[in-house]
Amino acid sequence: MYIRGAMNRRCRGQWCVRLACLAAAATWPFGAVAFQHGAGNAAAPEVGASKMNPRDGLRYMWIPPGSFIQGCSPGDKKCYEDETPTQKITLTRGFWLGQTEVTQAAFQLVMEYNPSIFEGANLPVESVTWIEADAYCRKIGGRLPSEAEWEYAARAGTTGARYGNLDDIAWYWNNSNFMSHPVAQKKPNAFGLYDMLGNVVEWTHSWYWVQHNVETINPTGPSIAEYKSLRGGGWWDEPDLVRASYRGRIEPDSEDYNIGLRCVSE
User: For position 95, which CATH number holds?
Assistant: 3.90.1580.10
Judge whether 152 lies within some domain: yes
In the chain, the number of structural domains is 1
Supply the DSSP string of 198-261, one letter for each residue.
Answer: SSSEEEEEEEP-SSPPS--BS----S--S-EEEES--TT--GGGSSTT-EEEE-TT---TTEE-
Does residue 14 lie within any of the structural domains? no
Domain presence at residue 216: yes
pLDDT digits (tens, 9 = 90+) for 120-144: 999 999 999 999 999 999 999 999 9
| Residue 12 within any structural domain of the chain | no
Cβ atoms of 55 and 139 within 8 Å: the answer is: yes
Range of the domain at 201: 19-265
| Residues 188-203: tens digit of each pLDDT | 999 999 999 999 999 9
In tens, the pLDDT along 33-62 reads 333 444 445 688 988 999 999 999 999 999
Q: Considering the domain boundaries, does residue 254 fall inside one?
A: yes
- Bridge partners for 63 per DSSP: 95
Task: Look at residue 3 and tell me if it is in a domain.
Answer: no
Query: Residue 8 domain-assigned?
Result: no
Asked whether residue 243 is domain-assigned, the answer is yes
Global pTM reads 0.86
Q: What is residue 95's three-state secondary structure?
A: strand
Residues 6+ apart with CB under 8 A from 114: 104, 107, 108, 125
For residue 92, give the amino acid letter: T
